[in-house]
């Protein structure tokens, strides 16, 4: 029975430590994705003509307008993810870009990655990996170390004024 007590104490201690460090996962996820999207958005703007041509070749309607929209969304959305501001909203917008990427540019790689004979796994397809991480941020938020946590901090019940 002594072992059961030791296991319980150890489990509680580990849980406490992990709870205190839980800010790390959303922070690292936001920083990684944010930087990647800022860089992708900058690249699309730097090579705007090539981006428009590529979108056109993929069959995306209004390629110039969509290229400008996506480049801006990636640049601004990435910057907001870095800051942890409006994380859920930005994640939702960026999720839509990853879905379009998976349906167009990454379609054959993505579909093939699920086949037993495929040479890639789904996590080798960047758009899919980003989609999964963005979904996590959408559902669980920016975490404790973010502007979202600072700006949208919930006031304790009963402390709100009637005004």
For 136-152, what is each residue's pLDDT tens digit?
999 999 999 999 999 98
Average pLDDT score, the chain: 93
Cβ atoms within 10 Å of 73's Cβ, excluding its own:
18
Q: pLDDT band at residue 160, thresholds of 50, 70 and 90?
A: very low
CA distance 98 to 128: 7
Please give the model's pTM, rounded to 2 decimal places: 0.87
C-alpha distances out from residue 78 to 118, 136, 159, Å: 31, 16, 35
Give residue 157's pLDDT. 54
The SS3 of residue 50 is helix
Give residue 163's pLDDT. 39
Q: Which residue has the tokens 């993929």?
A: 58
CA distance 44 to 71: 6
CA distance 93 to 74: 9
pLDDT above 60 for 44:
yes
Q: What percent of the chain has pLDDT over 70?
A: 93
Q: pLDDT band at residue 2, thresholds of 50, 70 and 90?
A: confident
Question: What CA dihedral angle connects 117, 118, 119 and 122, to 10 degrees?
Answer: -140
């Amino acid at each position: 029975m002594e072992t059961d007590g030791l296991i319980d104490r150890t489990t509680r201690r580990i849980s406490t430590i992990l709870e205190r460090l839980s800010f790390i996962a959303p922070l690292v996820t936001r920083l990684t994705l944010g930087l990647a999207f800022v860089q992708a958005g900058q690249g699309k703007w730097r090579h705007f003509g090539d981006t428009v041509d590529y979108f056109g070749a993929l069959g995306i309607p209004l390629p110039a307008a969509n290229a400008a929209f996506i480049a801006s969304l990636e640049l601004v959305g990435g910057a907001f993810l870095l800051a942890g501001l409006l994380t859920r909203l930005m994640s939702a917008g960026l999720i839509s870009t990853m879905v379009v990427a998976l349906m167009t540019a990454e379609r054959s790689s993505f579909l093939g990655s699920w086949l037993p004979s495929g040479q890639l796994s789904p996590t080798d397809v960047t758009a899919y990996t980003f989609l999964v991480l963005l979904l996590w941020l959408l559902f669980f938020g920016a975490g404790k170390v973010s502007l979202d946590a600072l700006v949208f901090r919930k006031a304790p019940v009963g402390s709100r004024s009637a005004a």
